[in-house]
Amino acid sequence: MSEFPKAGFFRRLASLIYDGLVVIAFAMLTTVVYLLIVQGFISADLLSLGEHPDVSAYIQASPLLYGIRAALLILVSVLFFAYFWTKSGQTIGMRAWRLRVETPAGKLLSWPVAISRSLCALCGLGNLLVLVDFKHKRALQDLICKTQVVVLSKEENKKVYNSLD
């Protein structure tokens, strides 16, 4: 059982804003790489722009290419959170706000739980449940995946950070 207090809504929201900026940067990088790959297929005559003025318009008009791009963006987001939650229990934003996601026993999440938790968070909307769960301060993803988010002391937060070296 964790000795730290449960995280409230506003601390979670602040952390999510930080992480959202990082995820947006990864999404932009993913989109650029995807555009280059599609352009490579066009250059190799494996795909054709047809009447579309550029690669971006071609992707927008193609349900398959548009779906692949959407799936890649979701995958990047899910893997971002899952990686950090399995490695240290903290994303970049969580580290700044001294939050850690863990099991009720205080352990790190496994990959399947971290991936499920990321999907169940519904792009952060699952955190709204914290506003009505006053006693336990659980978000939707915490209820479904049996996890909790705690506020670490400054000393413990430094320990987690230093253990990553």
Task: Please compute the mean of the pLDDT values over residues 65-92 and round it to a whole number.
Answer: 97
- The total of structural domains in the chain comes to 1
DSSP 23-74: HHHHHHHHHHHHHHHHHHHHHTTSS--TT-SSHHHHHHH-HHHHHHHHHHHH
pLDDT of residue 163: 81
Whether residue 4 is contained in a domain is answered as no
The type of residue at 113 is V
In whole numbers, what is the pLDDT of the chain averaged over residues?
95
pLDDT of residue 66: 98
Note the pLDDT tens digit of each residue in 53-64: 999 999 999 999
Q: 26: burial class by Cβ within 10 Å (0-12, 13-18, 19+)?
A: middle
Whether residue 2 is contained in a domain is answered as no
Task: Please compute the mean of the pLDDT values over residues 135-163 and round it to a whole number.
Answer: 93
Residue 87 has pLDDT above 70, yes or no: yes
Q: Look up the domain containing 150 and give its range.
A: 9-162
Task: Please compute the mean of the pLDDT values over residues 73-83 and round it to a whole number.
Answer: 97
pTM for the full predicted model: 0.91
Whether residue 3 is contained in a domain is answered as no
User: Going by C-beta distance under 8 Å and a sequence separation of 6 or more, which residues neighbour residue 39?
Assistant: 55
| Share of residues in the chain with pLDDT > 70 (%) | 98
Handedness of CA 81, 83, 88, 92 (dihedral sign): negative
Whether residue 88 is contained in a domain is answered as yes
